[in-house]
Structure 1
Amino acid sequence: MVAATALAAGSVAPAQIVRAPATEQAVAAVANSEPLVTTPLSNEPLAPAEVAGSEEPGAAVVPAIDTPAVRRGASLSETVAKLRSADAGSRELECLAVGVYFESKSEPLAGQLAVGHVIANRAESRGRFPSSYCGVLTQRGQFSFVRGGRWPSVNKNSLQWKNAVAIARIVDADIHDSNVGKAMFFHARRVRPGWRLTRVASVGNHVFYR
């Protein structure tokens, strides 16, 4: 699978969606605008991102590392348990895991999977968004936890991080489907942005659109 967001009343105003260079346009977070991706910021200190230059248009997606054999038909929780790791194994998978972690680490696994699929869908959007996980993650104005290509530090020994790595591997290898389909936007249930988009599903604490 080609390697390939939104949330927060009372904390951060929605960020703006910025299209890929070919159709670049800034859109304000108001009714009738395209949706954006926002999330409450962490108080942890910022750590340097490891994705310099990955947002360039046409950047090739780094192939996923080999993952342990998983049984097709296994439940999502079984597969996550099998694929948990502190080490994502590649820069691209780490970017995907970072997105899952900061946007949905407190969500049920199905919610984390849905967020991972949104990032993947964006990377597969053929020009609308950057063509790599890292490019999608660091695209200007998309994820409010990313500032200047940097994000808060992650405790890579935590179970939440290891789960995020597992979800990233699952999304990248297309092991489990998510009921959000080709959704490329989402927001927290507690906000009402008034987007004029097709609502796809509601999973965990988020509502997804395409």
Structure 2
Amino acid sequence: MLAAAAMGASSVAPAQVLPAPATEKVVKAVAQTMNEPLISTPLSNDPLAPAQVGGSEEPVADSAQDEAVTIEPGASLSETVARLRRSDAGSRELECLAAGVYFESKSEPLAGQLAVGQVIDNRTESRGRFPSSYCGVLTQRGQFSFVRGGRWPSVNKSSLQWKNAVAIARIVAGEIKESNVGKALFFHARRVSPGWRLTRVASVGNHVFYR
């Protein structure tokens, strides 16, 4: 979301688009969750990952933290999230995507969280309009106000909301389920009216989406 105060909170704006760096986007191998374990590389020494701290959110047990996860055909979004929930995102890229979902939409219904994650993913595939990695999109200057100096606030990684965000990130990166926001690249909270001259795509949860 734009840091500019005039936009208000919770809006990802069409301004200040920078050329994409040469960084490579997270591999779509996360789609292997149907039959194989997801990425399990530890995130130690990650300069972007905030320290884990305590919080008031309800802790829950990890789901299939270190074993293969099978998603049944026709499983609902809530069922899929329940299967993919975990505290460890598994890679720096997935943690960046999860952080975007968490800070922008953690209090929304899962469909709203999926829509936010889809916008971040869409930006990585925007052919140079935005950075080509999740971390690049998240830390692009002037886009998400919760990011300051390439970092974001600490997260209670044992909380249900964080684990849901990780599950959504795995769903988006693995192309397991799609949101109905299509190729949207921008969104803002319903409570603000930035007056963008863009094509409105959908309204999901607390956000309105554009391309």
TM-score after normalising by structure 1: 0.76
The 5 A counterparts of 1:1-210 are 5=1, 12=9, 17-21=15-19, 57-63=21-27, 66-67=37-38, 68-210=69-211
Q: Is the 8 A contact 2:25 2:133 kept in 1?
A: yes
Q: Deviations over 1:119-155 (max 9, x none)?
A: 0000111100000000000000000000110100000
Q: Deviations over 1:87-115 (max 9, x none)?
A: 00000000000000000000000000000
DSSP-derived class of the 2:203 partner:
strand
Aligned residues: 172
Q: Deviations over 1:169-205 (max 9, x none)?
A: 0000111111100000000001111111000000011
* 1:32 paired residue number: none
DSSP-derived class of the 1:145 partner:
coil
DSSP-derived class of the 2:115 partner:
helix
What is the CA–CA distance in structure 2 between the aligned matches of 1:180 and 1:62, rounded to whole Å?
A: 21
User: Aligned-pair RMSD on alpha carbons?
Assistant: 2.2
Runs of 4+ in 1 over 4 A off after TM superposition: 5-16
Q: Aligned-pair distance for 1:58? A: 2.0
Q: Aligned-pair distance for 1:84? A: 0.0
Q: Aligned-pair distance for 1:62? A: 3.0
Q: Aligned-pair distance for 1:20? A: 2.3
Q: Aligned-pair distance for 1:18? A: 1.7
DSSP-derived class of the 1:208 partner:
strand
Q: Is the 8 A contact 1:15 1:141 kept in 2?
A: no
What is the CA–CA distance in structure 2 between the aligned matches of 1:112 and 1:183, rounded to whole Å?
A: 14
Bigger drift between 123-132 and 56-65 goes to 56-65
DSSP-derived class of the 1:160 partner:
helix
Q: Aligned-pair distance for 1:12? A: 4.6
Bigger drift between 66-75 and 109-118 goes to 66-75
Task: Give the % identical residues.
Answer: 75
Bigger drift between 59-68 and 109-118 goes to 59-68
Q: Is the 8 A contact 1:9 1:190 kept in 2?
A: no
Q: Aligned-pair distance for 1:71? A: 1.6
What is the CA–CA distance in structure 2 between the aligned matches of 1:186 and 1:82, rounded to whole Å?
A: 28
Segments of 5+ residues of structure 1 without an aligned counterpart are 22-55
Structure 2 counterpart of 1:20, one-letter code: L
DSSP-derived class of the 1:114 partner:
helix
Distance of aligned partners of 1:188 and 1:137 in 2 relative to their CA distance in 1, 3 Å threshold: same
TM-score after normalising by structure 2: 0.76
Segments of 5+ residues of structure 2 without an aligned counterpart are 31-36, 39-68
